[in-house]
Chains A and B, each alone.
Chain A
Amino acid sequence: MPSSRRPSRFSRVVLDGPLFPFLMILPALIVLGLVIGLPILEALRLSFDTIALRRPAMAGTYGFHNYLKLFTDPRTYSALWLSCLYMAGTVVGSIILALTAALLTRRVVRFSGLTRLIFLLPWTVPAVVTALVWGVMYDGNFGVINRLIDFIPFIGGHNWLVERQTALASLIVAQVWNEFPMAYVFFLAGLKAIPDELYEAAAIDRANALQQFLFITLPQLRYIMAVIVILVMIMGFKSFPIIYILTGGGPAGATETLTILTYNTAFRSLDFSYAATLGILAVLASILLVLGYLKLLPRSGNEGTT
């Protein structure tokens, strides 16, 4: 290992001294600045400008008109509401599915690897593939879901992605299928951390399985549950390929969440300035979610000590 016997001034200040941390973070800072910082600044600039195909002569007209539109356009509120519904649906669906799977497999002794792999598998499936598979299964005429639903009484077949009432829920199901394994992994870890003594004590007190679940398992999972809720919300809020490929925001805006509205405004309506404004709204909303997440982390921030 090359140890410099006679440290030069450069080595003392830059490689070893007060400037070293900044040298280390510099490459990442430059890259992040170029591919994320600069676009955000450009988004801010765009949001005051008027870059839209329908008004080509207005370019360079700066003002607050995009923000005015943001607050007055009912589509904004509709998109925010749909994003909230989508997040709520994915949170509830993921937690029920993941918790059930985790409770069922937590103490499986034989084939434990196999059972876990089954519930992890959808995680490895790309979102694009998830969209295509569910698209085929949801097919209105001869889709396999409509054939399976025949086995269940009182629920008729639907053209799931085309009908207003079913489109959003159908997308949520596909999203939950794709991303519940993350929650599953967290729940398995959380269940593992619950001390066995708690259950033993409960067994001595003759608590039944339901009581054990309600009064030991659930309270003990409180923290991990909160983390999962926020992470699943963030993933649901960001979700793009599944919605875009399956419905593109349709039918008639019934699945146009904030991310889809942003994209459609830019690349279908070609109003880049307003799209940038919607993008800023989305960033602000995601910052709220991140702050919620950070509040949960017990020791957030820099733990570095040398």
Chain B
Amino acid sequence: MTAPSPGMSASPLALALRMSGIVVLGLMVLFPIYWMIVVALTPTGFGRQITTFLPQTITLDNFVSLFTARPMARWIGNSIIVATLSSALSLVFGVSCGYALSRLRFRGASLLLIAVLATQMMPATSIIVPLYMLFRSWGLLDTMQGMVAGHISLVVPLAIWMSKGFFDSIPRDLEHAARIDGCTHAGAFFFIALPLAAPGLAAIFIYGFVTSWHDFLFSHTLVTSQELWTAANGIASFRGEYFTLQEMQMAAALVFALPVVIVFFIMQRWIVSGALAGAVR
């Protein structure tokens, strides 16, 4: 392990070692993604016959048949609807709470903060069993509404913590000034803090969207009809159904992962800082 000192010019040998370390480790880390692309581009049924580490024949047929032979478009549409609704609703429900936790003193505030953190950290499998039973008696199983409600339980705690973090980072001076001018607390929240936090709220929305988009447990459990499946559920089903057809699985996996990867790179800074909010401070 090399931990060279700054201020000293590193020797060319140390630099070469470091660069080769990065290259080797980087190749290892990137290999699964590379392999996903290779298999996805291989003609259906030939994935197991690749003897080199390069694609032998390149085809886009797997991607085409995803959308023609399988309801991939429908599943993606479902995912977009569910993720948009659950993230937007979670933001609406969570943001005022995040503000209160950041700015206001009230009894039970720290307890609430801990409870929210705890809900985020407990296994979702503990929630899904009773939720399934409740939804069964409420007639919410196998409905979009039920799935959105399930995803809200994942995203609301996140929205609360992240919005608290963003409000913490906004200076209070403007709100103080407005309060002195006779603005109410509620007015200061709606007309000053919220607009200032707008970029943060957008980041929270996207983070919530991605959380819902990624979710497998709730979609898999609360919905059974194939036409209501989300994309996560749909592509996971490929492993059981097309166990032998790896190429289709990989094409579906790529289509599913790509939008999130792109969003991540556009919003890299925000997402990383959002994930760190509340963790190290």
Within 8 A of A (CB), among B5-62: 5-8, 18, 21-22, 25-26, 29-30, 32-33, 35-36, 39, 47-50, 53
Check if A2 sits within 8 Å of B238, measured CB to CB.
Answer: no
Q: State which of B2, B129, B168, B268 has its C-beta within 8 Å of the C-beta of A43.
A: B129
Check if A38 sits within 8 Å of B134, measured CB to CB.
Answer: yes
- A39-B130, A43-B127 are known; give 18 further A-B pairs, CB within 8 A: A22-B106, A35-B156, A108-B18, A124-B260, A128-B214, A129-B235, A133-B250, A133-B253, A136-B47, A137-B32, A141-B48, A212-B5, A224-B280, A245-B239, A259-B125, A266-B132, A290-B122, A306-B105
Q: State which of B8, B35, B213, B264 has its C-beta within 8 Å of the C-beta of A137.
A: B35
Check if A276 sits within 8 Å of B129, measured CB to CB.
Answer: yes
Chain A residues whose C-beta falls within 8 Å of the C-beta of B25 in the assembled complex: 97, 100-101, 104, 119
Within 8 A of B (CB), among A129-169: 129-137, 139, 141-142, 144
Assembly CA distance A4 to B130 (angstroms): 47
Say yes or no for A287: interface residue by CB 8 A criterion. Answer: yes
CB distance from B232 to the nearest CB of A (A): 5
Check if B32 sits within 8 Å of A238, measured CB to CB.
Answer: no
Q: Is the interface of B mostly helix, strand, loop or mixed?
A: helix
Say yes or no for A213: interface residue by CB 8 A criterion. Answer: yes
Against A, the Cβ 8 Å flags (1 = close, 0 = not) of B75-113 are 000000000000000101110110111111110011011
Q: In the complex, how many residues of chain A place their beta carbon closer than 8 angstroms to a beta carbon of chain B?
A: 122
Check if B281 sits within 8 Å of A299, measured CB to CB.
Answer: yes
Q: A28-B160, A263-B125 are in contact. Are A126 and B257 (CB under 8 A)?
A: yes
Within 8 A of A (CB), among B211-242: 213-214, 216-217, 221, 232, 235-236, 238-239
Residue of B1, B36, B217 with most partner-chain A CB within 10 A: B1
Q: State which of B49, B96, B249, B264 has its C-beta within 8 Å of the C-beta of A132.
A: B249
Chain B residues whose C-beta falls within 8 Å of the C-beta of A85 in the assembled complex: none
Chain B residues whose C-beta falls within 8 Å of the C-beta of A210 in the assembled complex: 1
Q: Give 5 CB contacts A-B under 8 Å.
A: A28-B97, A131-B236, A135-B239, A136-B36, A139-B48
Say yes or no for B275: interface residue by CB 8 A criterion. Answer: yes
Q: State which of B90, B109, B183 has its C-beta within 8 Å of the C-beta of A3.
A: B183
Assembly CA distance A121 to B275 (angstroms): 15
CB distance from A43 to the nearest CB of B (A): 4
Q: A132-B253, A213-B3, A306-B105 are in contact. Are A282 and B26 (CB under 8 A)?
A: no
Chain B residues whose C-beta falls within 8 Å of the C-beta of A124 in the assembled complex: 257, 260-261, 264-265
Closest to A24 in B: B100
Chain B residues whose C-beta falls within 8 Å of the C-beta of A118 in the assembled complex: 26, 29-30
Assembly CA distance A14 to B99 (angstroms): 16
Q: A238-B123, A267-B221 are in contact. Are A209 and B260 (CB under 8 A)?
A: no
Check if B186 sits within 8 Å of A196, measured CB to CB.
Answer: no
CB distance from B4 to the nearest CB of A (A): 6
Residues of A whose CB lies within 8 Å of any CB of B are 1-5, 7, 11, 14-16, 20-25, 27-32, 34-36, 38-43, 46, 51, 97, 100-101, 103-105, 107-108, 115, 117-137, 139, 141-142, 144, 177, 182, 185-186, 189, 196, 199-200, 202-203, 209-210, 212-213, 216-217, 224, 227, 231, 234, 237-238, 240-241, 244-245, 258-260, 262-263, 266-267, 272, 275-276, 279-280, 282-283, 286-287, 289-290, 293-294, 297, 299-306
Say yes or no for B162: interface residue by CB 8 A criterion. Answer: no
CB distance from B231 to the nearest CB of A (A): 9
Q: A286-B118, A300-B110 are in contact. Are A3 and B187 (CB under 8 A)?
A: yes
> Tally of A-B residue pairs with Cβ under 8 A?
355
Residue of A105, A124, A131, A280 with most partner-chain B CB within 10 A: A124
Check if B100 sits within 8 Å of A283, measured CB to CB.
Answer: no
Assembly CA distance A27 to B106 (angstroms): 16
Assembly CA distance A128 to B129 (angstroms): 20
Q: Which of the 9-residue segments B65-73, B145-153, B199-207 touches chain A?
A: B145-153
Q: A131-B239, A272-B133 are in contact. Are A31 and B260 (CB under 8 A)?
A: no
Check if B100 sits within 8 Å of A103, measured CB to CB.
Answer: no
Closest to B118 in A: A290
Residue of B47, B126, B130, B214 with most partner-chain A CB within 10 A: B126
Check if A24 sits within 8 Å of B189, measured CB to CB.
Answer: yes
Say yes or no for B124: interface residue by CB 8 A criterion. Answer: yes
Assembly CA distance A240 to B124 (angstroms): 9
Check if B33 sits within 8 Å of A125, measured CB to CB.
Answer: yes
Chain A residues whose C-beta falls within 8 Å of the C-beta of B104 in the assembled complex: 20-21, 24, 304, 306
Within 8 A of A (CB), among B158-187: 160, 168, 172, 175, 178, 181-187
Closest to A19 in B: B106
Chain A residues whose C-beta falls within 8 Å of the C-beta of B109 in the assembled complex: 21, 301-302, 304
Q: List 9 tightest A-B contacts by C-beta distance, closest first.
A: A301-B110, A279-B126, A28-B97, A35-B153, A21-B106, A42-B130, A24-B100, A302-B109, A15-B186
Check if B260 sits within 8 Å of A259, measured CB to CB.
Answer: no
Closest to B97 in A: A28
Q: State which of A123, A129, A238 has its C-beta within 8 Å of the C-beta of B256.
A: A129
